[in-house]
């Protein structure tokens, strides 16, 4: 197989260029985003209430005079 590369290629002139297929690595599910809660096996997580942060009085995205 032959691929013709046109344009700038990093590296010294006359050297080989390694070309790989684009691949997507699935995220590692063992590294959950922080914070998280892992319920014990004897506890039903559907009975827990979600934690929600207060928005506050001031909107940080609105310009104040």
- Tens digit of pLDDT for each residue in 4-53? 878 888 888 888 888 887 787 777 767 766 666 777 888 887 888 877 77
The closest alpha carbon to 17, from 27, 3, 28, belongs to: 3
pLDDT for res 26: 78
pLDDT for res 53: 77
Query: Residues with Cβ < 8 Å from 58, sequence gap 6 or more?
Result: 64
Q: Determine if the pTM surpasses 0.75.
A: no
Q: How confident is the model at residue 65 (pLDDT cuts 50, 70, 90)?
A: low
């Amino acid at each position: 197989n032959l691929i013709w590369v046109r344009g700038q290629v990093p590296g010294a002139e006359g050297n080989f260029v390694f070309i790989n297929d684009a691949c997507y690595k699935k995220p590692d599910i063992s590294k959950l985003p922080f914070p998280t809660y892992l319920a014990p096996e004897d506890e039903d997580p559907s009975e827990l209430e979600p934690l929600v942060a207060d928005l506050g009085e001031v909107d940080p995205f609105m310009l104040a005079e």
